[in-house]
Amino acid sequence: MKKIFLSILLVLLSVAMGSAQEFRVDTMRVSRVDSTLLGRNVLSVLGSGVSVNQTPAMRSALDRYVQNNASKKLTGYRIRVYFENGQNARARSEAIARSVSNAYPGIGVYRTFESPNFKVMVGDFRTKDEALKVYQSLKASYPTALLLKDTINYPR
């Protein structure tokens, strides 16, 4: 009787451990996909071989969740490409903001004035890894670019 009980217990433990490992793999997959979702619908990155069956109520709930959180701010990273207070700083910051916006149309560009400096910040990156990819390409055109931790907008 004890042997049967122990063997059943071992089988249940191995099934539970297998389920936990599968869950962790799924969680890791979601976190890898998560960094690519900036500005895109979550369901659009699943690929052509995946079909998602959901009720209209579920789709509506997801859309409401995104809309309700759109005004929230998160801690993330931005790249400062311009920071100056000279006589031509305003015009120069406008020109840089336009050029970065044209070169990177999917990434937010923020031009601000904090007396006496004009700043141009790029992006709403949730992870440093995401920000570093764009930072490397911006560094060629803007050698004074700087990666900074900042409050970012909620991804849409």
pLDDT, one tens digit per residue, over 17-69 is 554 443 343 333 333 334 455 556 666 666 677 777 788 898 899 888 878 87
Residue 81 lies in a domain: yes
Residue 68 lies in a domain: no
- 99, two tokens: 């050029």
Residue 98's domain spans which residues? 74-153
Residue 141 lies in a domain: yes
Domain tally, the chain? 1
CB neighbours of residue 123 within 10 Å: 27
Pure H helices in 2-155: 2-34, 56-69, 89-103, 128-141
pLDDT, one tens digit per residue, over 96-142 is 999 999 998 888 999 999 889 999 999 989 899 989 999 999 998 89
pTM for the whole structure: 0.58
The CATH number for 144's domain is: 3.30.70.1070
User: Is 147 in contact with 130 (CB distance < 8 Å)?
Assistant: no
User: Is 97 in contact with 145 (CB distance < 8 Å)?
Assistant: no
- What pairing do the DSSP bridges indicate for beta strands 73-84 and 146-153? antiparallel
